[in-house]
Amino acid sequence: MLKDHLARVKGEAPANKQHAPPQHSLLAVSITETIMSPAFEALFWGFISGGALVLGAAVGFLVNVPSRVVAAIMAFGSGVLISALSFELMGEAFEEAGLGATATGFLAGAFIYAAANRLLAEYGAKHRKRSGDQQPSEDEDGGSGVAIAVGALLDGIPESIAIGLSILHGGAVSVATVAAIFLSNLPEGLSSSAGMRKAGRSSAYVFGIWTAIAVACGISSLLGYVVFDGFSPFVVAATTAVAAGAMLTMIVDTMIPEAFAETHNWAGLIAVLGFLVSFSLSKVAG
């Protein structure tokens, strides 16, 4: 006790006691660890890629973009996504799980998406990414608004899950995958919201849908990381292939028809340019 008293008089800490770190320091460390965590990274990048839908929707709804321009952008986005799922997702899945599991997962993802898309098409969501007059109004097809919203969510989930899985693969987010999804989401939101406007849907409906989907994309990306964090690399790789199969089916069923509708013979060339940009990005970033 005397030694502690003398230490306090001299302004020194007692020899047998240690100062606890200040509460604000502990809070700062906790916040930093949370922000730097892979789970938060998955949530953040999923939300950023989904935010491109909102950005594209704002342009499509507020600006009268010519149909040929919308179609050209959609063709470019299709090429970008095809490259990403080919070299980033399928390549990673093959390296970890082999051809058999990768092919099985790829076909399963395609089948699941095709079945769900077919069901939604019967309720009025068939042309949800078309910028022209193909989308039905609520008066023409009751319930089509809900179907279009669910369909848009269906389109975004596989892409977002793939972001979370890419972090599990490499320990950090795949820049090429995020960039590809972001670049493809811009024309998706643009084209779809332009069609919604022509179908007479309100701004509250349009921006409400895309904002909710952007949030759902972030959550889906987070779940892609958290749910599969405890699984083996084989299971993660097979699930990545499922996401890739769903994405490719979505591109062919919903994006390419809009791309070809106006650009016709130019659609293929524009898609090739998108593919090349994404491929180059994956090599530079990887």
Predicted pLDDT of residue 243? 93
Whether 38 maps to a domain, the answer reads no
Q: What is the pTM of this model?
A: 0.78
Whether 95 maps to a domain, the answer reads yes
Supply the mean pLDDT for the chain: 81
* Burial per residue of 243-260, b for 16 or more beta-carbon CB atoms within 10 angstroms, e otherwise: bbbbbbbbbebbbbbbbb
Q: Is the pLDDT of residue 68 over 50?
A: yes
Whether 214 maps to a domain, the answer reads yes
Whether 36 maps to a domain, the answer reads no
Q: Is the pLDDT of residue 4 over 60?
A: no
Q: Which of 4-18, 78-92, 237-251, 260-274 has the lowest mean pLDDT?
A: 4-18
| Ramachandran angles phi, psi of 94, nearest 5° | -65, -40
pLDDT in tens, 237-258: 999 999 999 999 989 988 888 8
Q: Is 43 exposed, middle or buried (0-12, 13-18, 19+ CB in 10 A)?
A: buried
pLDDT in tens, 155-169: 888 989 989 888 887
Residue 84 tokens read as: 């990403």
Closest to 109 measured CA to CA, from 165, 39, 175, 41:
165
- How many domains does the chain contain in total? 1
Kindly write down the DSSP assignment for every residue of 134-167, as one continuous string: -SPPTTTSTTHHHHHHHHHHHHHHHHHHHHHHHH
Question: Which range of residues forms the domain containing residue 211?
Answer: 46-58+65-285
Is residue 263 a contact partner of residue 70, using CB atoms and an 8 Å limit? Answer: no
Whether 17 maps to a domain, the answer reads no
Angle (CA) 264 268 270, round 5°: 100
Q: Which of 14-18, 59-63, 207-211 has the lowest mean pLDDT?
A: 14-18
Whether 30 maps to a domain, the answer reads no
Average confidence (pLDDT) over 259-269? 85
Q: Is the pLDDT of residue 32 over 60?
A: no
Is residue 164 a contact partner of residue 229, using CB atoms and an 8 Å limit? Answer: no
Whether 15 maps to a domain, the answer reads no
Q: Is the pLDDT of residue 35 over 80?
A: no
Q: Is the pLDDT of residue 6 over 60?
A: no
Radius of gyration of the chain (CA): 24
